[in-house]
């Protein structure tokens, strides 16, 4: 059985969440989004959520120790045995090293890193017009990928909302943080020979076709 131990890497707004929905449906693997897990903790006002909120609202990274703990716990769940799709993790070299170590302990390794490439001006337009489903987290865009009914999720009928960190000032900081702390991971994974660079500025289904070509067929 082919293992799909996948990472989706790319700046805020590159379409990680948008493509994640397609990839997990196509390959039957769980979607592990540290951003979604942290936002759920903020909503539930857990101690971790209360600590994370101040970093997220500023567009800064939550401390490595917090997110590494989240991912280590998640990888212990049995549904990850056949593979997984990491979305928004790792974001720093220490996070990437911790993931490698955790997988090594399981006799596994990252099999592909999909890097979504999109120009900065388009990223800002995407994020400032984004709306997300409160129930299933599917992202929409008021102009680019509008829902069939305004304010209502096409996938599950949930209510759409705007993320607190999608203001222009916070978006600019998130992009700066990505360039400084996360982009160096492309080099890190290039050394392991597992990177696939994909044009993320195309229509979502066209980008997904390119991702499928890079990943190869899902097991029957
Ligand atoms: P996170 O939730 O991971 O956010 P992000 O990386 O900033 O990325 P986004 O979710 O904003 O963008 P996306 O690439 O998913 O784009 P989407 O598909 O929605 O992290 C948030 C915060 O949590 C961080 O700032 C940090 O504080 C914390 N955090 C999370 N993980 C962490 C970690 N590992 N370490 C430390 N801190 C961490 O698309 C965007 C918009 O564009 C949508 O409106 C969509 O409809 C539209 N769109 C997408 N694709 C297309 C297309 N092809 N054509 C037209 N429109 C499109
Ligand atoms: Mg996302």
Question: In this predicted model, what pLDDT tens digit does every residue of 5-55 receive, in sequence order?
Answer: 999 999 999 999 999 999 999 999 999 999 999 999 999 999 999 999 999
Q: What is the pLDDT of residues 150-174, one digit of tens each?
A: 999 999 999 999 999 999 999 999 9
For atom 46 of ligand 1, the residue with the nearest CA is 140
Residue among 21, 31, 34, 183 to mutate when testing ligand 1 (max atoms within 8 A of CB): 34
What φ, ψ does residue 195 adopt, rounded to 5°?
A: -90, 135
Question: How many other C-beta atoms can be found within 10 angstroms of the C-beta atom of residue 190?
Answer: 13
pLDDT 10s digits, 72-98: 999 999 999 999 999 999 999 999 999
Question: What pLDDT does residue 118 have?
Answer: 98
pLDDT band at 220 (very low <50, low <70, confident <90, very high): low
Q: Give residue-wise pLDDT tens across range 94-137.
A: 999 999 999 999 999 999 999 999 999 999 999 999 999 999 99
- Other beta carbons less than 10 A from residue 51's beta carbon: 15
157: left (phi over 0), alpha (psi -120 to 50) or beta: left
- Hey, whose CA ends up nearest to atom 34 of ligand 1? 89
3-state secondary structure of 147: coil
CATH code of 4-29+82-215, in short, is 3.40.50.300
Q: Give me ligand 2 centre to Cα 155, in Å.
A: 16
For residue 215, give the 3-state DSSP assignment: helix
Q: Is the peptide bond before 90 cis (omega within 30 degrees of 0)?
A: yes
């Amino acid at each position: 059985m082919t293992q799909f131990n996948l990472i989706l890497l790319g700046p805020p707004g590159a379409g990680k969440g948008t493509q994640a929905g397609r990839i997990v449906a196509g390959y039957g693997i769980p979607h592990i989004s540290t951003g979604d897990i942290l936002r759920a903790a903020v909503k539930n006002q857990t101690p971790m959520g209360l600590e994370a909120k101040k970093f997220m609202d500023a567009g800064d990274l939550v401390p490595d120790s917090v997110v590494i703990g989240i991912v280590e716990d998640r990888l212990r769940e049995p549904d990850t045995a056949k593979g997984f799709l990491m979305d928004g993790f790792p974001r720093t070299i220490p996070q990437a090293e911790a993931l490698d170590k955790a997988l090594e302990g399981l006799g596994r390794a990252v099999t592909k890193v999909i890097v979504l490439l999109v120009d900065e001006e388009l990223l800002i337009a995407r994020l400032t017009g984004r709306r997300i489903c409160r129930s299933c987290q599917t992202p929409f865009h008021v102009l680019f990928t509008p829902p069939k009914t305004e304010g209502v999720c096409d996938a599950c009928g949930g209510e759409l909302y705007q993320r607190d960190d999608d203001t222009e000032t916070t978006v600019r900081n998130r992009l700066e943080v990505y360039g400084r702390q996360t982009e160096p991971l492309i080099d890190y994974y290039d050394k392991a020979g597992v990177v696939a660079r994909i044009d993320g500025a195309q229509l979502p289904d066209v980008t997904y076709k390119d991702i499928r070509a890079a990943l190869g067929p899902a097991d029957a």
